Amino acid sequence: MARPLTLLLVRHGQSEWNAAGLMQGQTAHVPLTDLGHAQAAAVADELARLSPGALVSSDLHRAVQTAEHCARTTGLPVSTTPALREQGYGVLEGRPSRELWDVVDWTDPHWSAEGGESLAQVHARVAAYLDRLRADPPADVVALVTHGDTIRAAQAVAAGDGPGAMPAVTPPNGTVTRLELVR
């Protein structure tokens, strides 16, 4: 029997928009705060102890900055992919998150904002990426630097659940979530 593929899902450190309470989605340019850099350095130390053999990041700036900390600590090169981006929130990006509780239908996995993605679309995107990774893994242990909704989608995919059963809790910034995928 083949060994499972171990994924170490790293949520990026705190960004300026996390700190300001703004909806980020796929807004590309948002950098880490000083706390975010500290979180990224700490998660990089944790990641180094887990010995990944490959390091892949979302191509959004906050994830790339986190991945750069991980690369320095692990000695691994970083490759990037849009497949690991956060859920796109379209016209809602940049708005205060607290204003969106009455706008977003958090219970419908097929709802999306104008110009954005539904959770079902995020789930499908992540599932397709994990299928490719499973078929041709760069290592037995792969670190993926990504975003909260993307991690929740990966957790659902790994559990064999659909987009309506994604975990409700988003891992905190600067943490590692471990998943095992059967090959």
Angle, helix 61-74 to helix 34-50, in steps of 10 degrees: 40
- Cross-strand partners of 58: 81
* Across 25-50, average pLDDT: 98
Give the domains, in start order, of the chain with CATH numbers. 5-181 (3.40.50.1240)
Average model confidence (pLDDT) for the chain? 96
pLDDT at 158 over 90: yes
- pLDDT at position 3 is 84
Reduce the DSSP state of residue 182 to 3 states and report it: coil
Residue type for 116, please? G
Which residue is catalytic, options 12, 37, 69, 123? Answer: 12
123 is catalytic: no
Which residue is catalytic, options 68, 86, 93, 117? Answer: 86
pLDDT per position as a tens digit, 16-33: 999 999 999 999 999 999
pLDDT per position as a tens digit, 75-87: 999 999 999 999 9
Convert 56-84 into a string of H (helix), E (strand) and C (coil).
Answer: EEECCHHHHHHHHHHHHHHCCCEEEEHHH
- pLDDT at position 183 is 80
- pLDDT at position 176 is 98
86 is catalytic: yes
